[in-house]
Amino acid sequence: MKRINSNPRPGWKAFAESVGFNFHTFDGEPYWDETAYYQFSLEQIEQDLEQPTEELHQMALDLVDDIVSDEQKLQQLAIPPRFWDAVLASWRAKEPYLYGRMDFSYNGSGPAKLLELNYDTPTSLYETGFFQWVWLEDQLMRGELPQGADQFNSLQDKLQQAFGELNLAQPFYFASVTESIEDKGTVDYLMDIALQAGLNCRYIQLEQLGDIDGQLVDLDGFPVHGLFKLYPWEFMLQEDFAGTILTSQTQFIEPLWKCLLSNKGILPLLWQKYQGHPNLLPAFFDDGSSLQNGWLRKPLLSREGANIELLTAEGKTFKQDGPYNDSGYIRQQLAPLPKFGDSYTLIGSWVVGDSAAGICIREDNSLITKDSSRFIPHIILD
Amino acid sequence: MSKTFKRSKTARLIMMVPAAGMVLAGCGEKPVEVQVFNTPDECAAYYNPPAECKAAFAEAKALHPQVAPRYASKQECETDFGSGQCETAPVLAANNSVATGSSEQSQPQSQQSSGFFMPMMMGFMAGQMLNRGGMAGTPQQQSAATNRSPVANQPLYKSRDDRGTFRTATNTPVASQPGATSIRPSAVQPKPATMARRGGFGAQAAKRNVGSYGG
């Protein structure tokens, strides 16, 4: 695993905007950054990332079975008791799922360490599946990359296959928060792939979803029988239409039971069940005591690195503020992100259905990866 | 020996790329042929299979209480549709989806009155009909994917001042005589008359105000 400086494609920004990538720059700072790329060996990809991703995925699914009928665990994950039966029913009915992403700390050798699961609303999908792919093809064509370079990125192929096989209700609706262009970009990308898979797709702003007698409906009042929602379950379960979730004849992607896996409480539960697994870090539910060196504390429910408190092995504290301070916390042993040059590097590893489907790399100037962290493409070359 | 790639074979976009974008609806829409009738018997007389006429009528009839315009008083309704041409509107049962052409939707409506009034159904539109001989027009070419007409079988109405014209529940005139007529599917898409509550999701987003609700 190496970081290699690279010449960006001339005019890539205009190209990005022409293909719907309107969030390539974040508050004036680059989000998509092709001034460098990471290079992996095929062995690193297959043995250190792909195989553990699929194994950890199966371990997480096995754990769901333990949680759904265990009140203590449901309580530890702060699932509102009103929804326990629905979560159980959703799992027992084997409600299908589309995708997820796990984040790893990995420096090219030794086991990748699982930092967390993003199993409900993972983003940076378009950047990974499409824009990173096009970058590789373009740079191969321009001779900027060595011939024979490949990429661990079968995301779009696998998503299209999944949309074709999931047997989703039609028309199938996609919803995201109105104000977020990043989320709209992600949803547009998924809709585009679903269209190519032959689905009848419609977009609806999340806030425009209606309720008629307990049924979710679209703007014309038609029932929404299938819905991809780029909006966290833990929010939906506490909003005005929370009750609608219990009565509406709607197939959700991701399904309700995924609220168990997108919860950071899954990390201590994984450690309880699989203590010592090479890809897991010791993790516990937080007891409120002060952090020890080499540990970090993060909320059960948070996103984009928000509300994380971290103490390095040397005792240096890093804290990231954010809007997710209203849930319980877990603590996890620190696996510091590797440093390449001035950047700390995190690897996101995608899962579609039950298959590992590629990686994305995020860089930040701090140990905590955030929404604003740069996206760097990668290649495989032996 | 063929090399196995770890990346997608293609990464094509059809919607996000404007140049290759699709026309989803609107001016590019092609008109389709439908038939309108006062009664199922009249439909059968136009050389259509009687069973299909009955089925289309039943679907339209089931849709009627869901899509008919609703009025707070009988008088207001009769102002638009004529004396003796209005009836009480039932309360709609929960999860009652508006049929867009499927026959499983013909369950009996709740008879409980909602306190609203609606015009009586005066005819129906048959979106797709297997013609017995072909006199009343060639059946619409169907896409293999759906094998259904893009137009729902639906109730039709007649206004007080224009008794000759068949109108949809949303007051779109479709024909002035029984038989075949040509319409744009989006113009006759049935819409539920019921009012939905909205805005029940998204409050946490407004409160937290971050750039993305993914992660």
Mean pLDDT of the A218-234 span? 93
Q: What percent of chain B stands above pLDDT 90?
A: 29
Q: Which tokens is B136 given?
A: 């009343």
Q: What percent of chain A stands above pLDDT 90?
A: 83
pLDDT on residue A284: 97
Name the helix (H) or strand (E) containing A339. strand A339-340
Q: What ranges in A82-131 are assigned the alpha helix state H? A: 84-92, 125-126
Closest C-alpha among A215, A267, A245, A360 to residue A77: A267
Mean pLDDT of the B168-188 span? 88
Which single residue is written with the structure tokens 């001035």? Answer: A342
Q: Cite the beta strand spans of chain B per DSSP E.
A: 32-37, 86-90, 113-119, 123-126, 154-159, 162-167, 173-175, 179-183, 197-198
Q: Which tokens is A141 given?
A: 């064509």
pLDDT on residue A61: 97
Nearest beta carbon to residue B8 from set A153, A182, A191: A153
Please, what is the angle between helix A155-165 and helix A181-196, to 10°? Answer: 60
Residue-wise pLDDT for A25-81, tens only, equals 988 889 999 999 999 999 999 999 999 999 999 999 999 999 999 999 999 999 999
Residue-wise pLDDT for A246-285, tens only, equals 999 999 999 999 999 999 999 999 999 999 999 999 999 9
Dmax over Cα atoms in chain B, in whole Å?
Answer: 82
The per-residue pLDDT of chain A, averaged, comes to: 94
In which region does residue A258 sit, left (phi positive, over 0), alpha (psi from -120 to 50) or beta (all else)? alpha
Contact B202 A207 (CB under 8 A): yes
What is the count of residue pairs from A and B with beta carbons less than 8 Å apart?
A: 196
**CA–CA distance from A209 to each of A5, A173, A190, B75 (Å)?**
46, 10, 19, 34
Contact A214 B215 (CB under 8 A): no
| Residues linked to residue B166 through DSSP beta bridges, in sequence order | B175
Contact B13 A212 (CB under 8 A): no
Flag whether pLDDT at B103 surpasses 80: no
Contact B11 A133 (CB under 8 A): yes
DSSP state string for A262-325 = SSTTHHHHHHHHSTT-TT---EEE--SPPPPTTEEEEESS--TTTTEEEE-TT--EEEE--S--
pLDDT on residue B192: 77
Contact A214 B15 (CB under 8 A): no
Q: Are strands A283-285 and B179-183 parallel, antiparallel or unpaired?
A: unpaired
The per-residue pLDDT of chain B, averaged, comes to: 76
**Å from B67 to nearest chain A CA?**
10
Work out the pLDDT band at B13, boundaries 50, 70, 90.
confident
Flag whether pLDDT at B99 surpasses 60: no
**Are the CB atoms for B64 and B190 separated by under 8 Å?**
no
Q: Cα–Cα distance between A376 and A363 in angstroms, integer?
A: 7
> Lowest mean pLDDT: which of A235-239, A291-295, B80-84, B179-183?
B179-183
Mean pLDDT of the B50-77 span? 90
- Peptide bond just before A304 cis, omega within 30 deg: no
pLDDT on residue B28: 58
Judged on CB neighbours under 10 Å (0-12, 13-18, 19+), B133 is exposed
Which single residue is written with the structure tokens 């696998």? Answer: A158
- Main-chain dihedrals φ then ψ at residue A282, nearest 5 degrees: -55, 135
Contacts of B200 in chain A (CB under 8 A): 209, 211, 239-241, 244
Chain B segment 136-165 residues within 8 A of A by beta carbon are 145
**Are the CB atoms for A131 and A16 separated by under 8 Å?**
yes
DSSP state string for B178-211 = SEEEEE-GGGG-----SPPEE--S-HHHHHH--S
Q: Does B30 touch chain A (CB under 8 A)?
A: no
Q: Cα–Cα distance between A116 and B127 in angstroms, integer?
A: 52
**CA–CA distance from A55 to each of A15, A59, A261, A355, B15 (Å)?**
38, 6, 15, 10, 35
Which amino acid is present at B195?
Answer: M
Of A103-117, A358-372, B107-121, B131-145, which one has max mean pLDDT?
A: A103-117
Task: Give B156's contacts (C-beta < 8 A, 6+ positions apart).
Answer: B36, B60, B121, B122, B123, B124, B125, B166, B167, B168, B174
Q: Cα–Cα distance between B145 and B128 in angstroms, integer?
A: 15
Q: What percent of chain A stands above pLDDT 70?
A: 99
**Å from A141 to nearest chain B CA?**
15
> Lowest mean pLDDT: which of A36-45, A160-169, A359-368, B88-97?
B88-97
Q: Cα–Cα distance between B155 and B64 in angstroms, integer?
A: 6
Residue-wise pLDDT for A59-71, tens only, equals 999 999 999 999 9
Chain B segment 10-29 residues within 8 A of A by beta carbon are 10-19, 22
Question: How many beta carbons lie within 10 A of that of residue A28, not counting itself?
Answer: 5
Q: Cα–Cα distance between A230 and A184 in angstroms, integer?
A: 9
Mutate to test the interface with B, among A163, A177, A182, A245 (most CBs of B within 10 A): A177
Task: Give B77's contacts (C-beta < 8 A, 6+ positions apart).
Answer: B71, B85, B86, B117, B118, B119
Q: Are strands B173-175 and B162-167 parallel, antiparallel or unpaired?
A: antiparallel
Q: Which tokens is A232 given?
A: 């966290």
Specify the 3-state DSSP secondary structure of A90.
helix
Q: Cα–Cα distance between A206 and A204 in angstroms, integer?
A: 6
Contact B198 A210 (CB under 8 A): yes
Chain B: residue nearest A152 by CA? Answer: B6
Q: Cα–Cα distance between A360 and B143 in angstroms, integer?
A: 39
Work out the pLDDT band at B2, boundaries 50, 70, 90.
low
In which region does residue B84 sit, left (phi positive, over 0), alpha (psi from -120 to 50) or beta (all else)? left
DSSP state string for A121-170 = S---HHIIIIIHHHHHHHHHHTTSS-TT-B-SB-HHHHHHHHHHHS---S
Nearest beta carbon to residue B212 from set A180, A223, A241: A180
Nearest beta carbon to residue B6 from set A151, A207, A217: A151
Name the helix (H) or strand (E) containing A234. helix A233-236
- Main-chain dihedrals φ then ψ at residue A112, nearest 5 degrees: -65, 140
pLDDT on residue B104: 41
pLDDT on residue B129: 66
Q: Cα–Cα distance between A334 and B67 in angstroms, integer?
A: 60
pLDDT on residue B47: 75
pLDDT on residue B130: 58
pLDDT on residue B93: 52
